[in-house]
Homo-oligomer: A and B are copies of this chain.
């Protein structure tokens, strides 16, 4: 199995995140995300094309090839497993795991990653609720629904929180909401989109519509 530089891996991973089901990725988009200049992106795309990891025609944007997608899923697997390790075993906070995982993800020993996965008990989701690909690149596509759209009185499990700012984390901690929290929506107020929710058997609490929109849940 070939090996890629950290730089190549960062481009590959970012293309994966930017290209949706079908869309193309543009030079400027990618330059923004990997914090480099468009000229550097063009250089790298030529290289990745020659390695058959992206389909690329000048001025037409690019997408990962099936091979590129496999490489991307491997990087994402490592990133999310390390994030899980940092949060679960080393007691890092949510908003601290990503930065360190950016480095650990580039250590690409297959044996290391598979043994880590086993040690962690084959987790299905990282601390932000994103699914972790298995050895073969398969991952749950967690049919997750925004809490703002969840019906009243239906059990739900928090499975993802988008936008991982420290301010958001603070609010979630105060409300005692975390990945895995079981709750039900008790009331919805159309006036300001606020919700009244009940966590487990505790007293109901109110959360704003803005907060609800950052929270995604599963069928509990």
Q: Which residues of A contact B (CB under 8 A)?
A: 86, 89-92, 96, 99-100, 103-104, 107, 109, 111-112, 115-116, 118-119
Contacts and interface: CB of A to CB of B under 8 A. Distances in A.
B109 A103 contact: yes
Stoichiometry, as copies per complex, reads 2
User: 4 tightest CB-CB pairs across the interface, nearest first?
Assistant: A90-B115, A103-B107, A100-B109, A100-B112
Nearest to A106: B103
Nearest to A114: B90
B100 A107 contact: yes
7 contacts: A86-B112, A90-B116, A91-B115, A92-B111, A99-B109, A100-B112, A107-B107
Nearest to A103: B107
A86 B104 CA distance: 14
Contacts of A86: 112, 115
Contacts of A96: 111
